[in-house]
Amino acid sequence: MQGVQLLMSNTETIPGMSITQSFGVVTGSTVRAKHIGKDILAGFKNIVGGELKSYTELLMEARNEALGRMMADAMARGANAVVNVRFATSSVAGGAAELFAYGTAVAVE
Amino acid sequence: MVDFQVWMIPVFLFSVLPSLLFLFSLLFAGRYQNGLIKKLLERENLFLQQNGKDNIHTITSLYPEREITGCGLVMTNISIGPSWWQMFVGGIKAGIFGGEVRSYDKILAWGRQEALQRLREVSKVNGWDDVINVRMETSMLQQTKGGNGKTGSIEIIAYGTGVR
């Protein structure tokens, strides 16, 4: 996966290039939860409100992971770009969150 | 002066300390959040001065039109939590009286603006001139683990296609 640059956009096309072939929907997802120590620390930060940095970092990392899995899926299909990338988040039981990324794998020139 | 006794430890931990923290939340959370809003406004103004114009758009074309030579996904997030006091007031308002729940307004508005401001800054750092097709999404992350029910956290993401 290293060294190969996959183009990504959340628009219908890759600006400045034309799509020659579509490979269908590619997805990537991951479920994450934080350990109890961070949970408690975030609870204390909640006293005054504001940003909960540990959650921000965890979710960013997880979303990059989901994106990476989506890119791996797209590469396995022989695509060199993913268009119309969308994100979805849902909280599943026990304080865990599912981060989900999906898009359409295409070949562009 | 009362002598120290072992039963005082749990009483302090589970009743006195939370009450004190709650009082602290009531007195200082508003001030802290006002500070955050002020800092964000300063950053927005500074960015506008340096860049000359806003560089994020929800539309997919650039006006005036110009040649696009590269693109890539830009994504930022922030996870925010209201203060204990705001959660308490919001809970009473939503659970009993209904109607508009104002106590979450401040932190949500700040979180959204902060996410957008991060998108502006991150796209600049990554070398994109503009970001098109910006989308925002808000999701509630529930914390049932640990079980104190005191952490409410809301995640806001903003993403778009960076172009140069």
- The answer to whether the CB of B83 falls within 8 A of the CB of B24 is no
- The answer to whether the CB of B153 falls within 8 A of the CB of B143 is yes
Structural domain boundaries in chain B: 8-163
Contact B82 A46 (CB under 8 A): yes
Strand locations in A40-95, DSSP E? Answer: 50-51, 81-92
Per-residue pLDDT reduced to its tens digit, B67-124: 888 889 999 999 998 888 888 888 888 889 988 888 888 999 999 999 999 999 999 9
Identify the CATH class of A7-108: alpha beta
B36 vs A contacts (CB less than 8 Å): 50-51
Q: Give the model's pLDDT for residue B147.
A: 45
A43 vs B contacts (CB less than 8 Å): 146, 148, 150-151
Confidence class for position A101, pLDDT limits 50, 70, 90 = very high
Per-residue pLDDT reduced to its tens digit, A4-17: 678 899 999 888 88
Per-residue pLDDT reduced to its tens digit, B118-161: 999 999 999 999 999 999 999 887 654 444 455 578 889 999 99
Confidence class for position A54, pLDDT limits 50, 70, 90 = confident
Q: Which amino acid is at B25?
A: S
Q: How many CB pairs under 8 A join A and B?
A: 143
CA-nearest residue to B151 within chain A is: A43
Homologous superfamily of B8-163? Hypothetical protein apc22750. Chain B (3.30.110.70)
Q: How far apart, in Å, are the Cα atoms of A45 and each of A7, A39, B53?
A: 38, 10, 35
CA-nearest residue to B82 within chain A is: A49
Give the separation between CA B131 and CA B54, rounded to whole angstroms: 10
On whether any CB of chain B is under 8 Å from the CB of A59, the answer is: yes
Contact A43 B140 (CB under 8 A): no
Q: Give the model's pLDDT for residue B146.
A: 44
Give the separation between CA B158 and CA A65, rounded to whole angstroms: 17
Structural domain boundaries in chain A: 7-108
